[in-house]
Structure 1
Amino acid sequence: MNNQNLTLSITLATGDIARITNAPQELLTMIPSDQWDTIQDLIVGALDDQDGSPQLDEVEIGNLEYHENIHQGTFRMFFLIHRRFCCSEQVSWAKDYVDWTFSIQQDKLLATAAYFNWTLDN
């Protein structure tokens, strides 16, 4: 079982904080593609079982809380780990999530999280 530390740095425009607090899913559209690729690689890399070429799918943001007075908050990133086994045409899914904490510093949303693969592999 591996623990992966994840980070995000998102440049915010005027009104983006209000936009994501009203519609948390909008946060996904703001993540730069290179950072999103790294997050996916780290989460998939933490999986002990790489069979079926695991990929993240159906990513959603929920449970977003922002405390404007201290410029900090939290959110949960839900996702499915999708596997397709080519030889048997079997498909499997597993639900998982990552809890993030973030702060707003000037025009940046800086977020950190730790992904831990809870799958027992013994």
Structure 2
Amino acid sequence: MAVKLPNAAVLAAHLKSGMDRNQIAARYGAHRDTVRLALIRYNLLDLAPAKSEGPARRITRHLSREMITVQSDRLVILREMVAGDHGGVAIRQLSLPRISMHVAALRERGLDTAAP
């Protein structure tokens, strides 16, 4: 059974009253992408409230010295990780147990910030 969304006038009224795509989708039992496609079809996408995700962060593929922290009980590495079925990259902290060979190599490179 197909979802029946209202006409352009009703959708425009919802958007002007402050509803976002998720709220409209929940009201009519539709998926939010279905609502997005209807807004595009009716040329109403500019009325939809903008997402406020905060400032954009630049993701770099070059590791720097600040991305590895040696603590007394573990190593903390800040690195990019691919997440989800459709890709996408996020920067996450990876905590590893302190291994003597790796710690010695990091000390030689001058990256050890913890006191022995």
Task: Please classify the TM superposition score into its range, dividing by the shorter chain length.
Answer: under 0.3
TM-score, length-scaled by structure 2: 0.24
Which has the higher relative contact order, 1 or 2, with Cα contacts under 8 A spaced 6 or more apart?
A: 1
TM-score, length-scaled by structure 1: 0.23
Determine which structure has the larger strand proportion and give its number: 1
> Which of 1 and 2 has greater Rg?
2
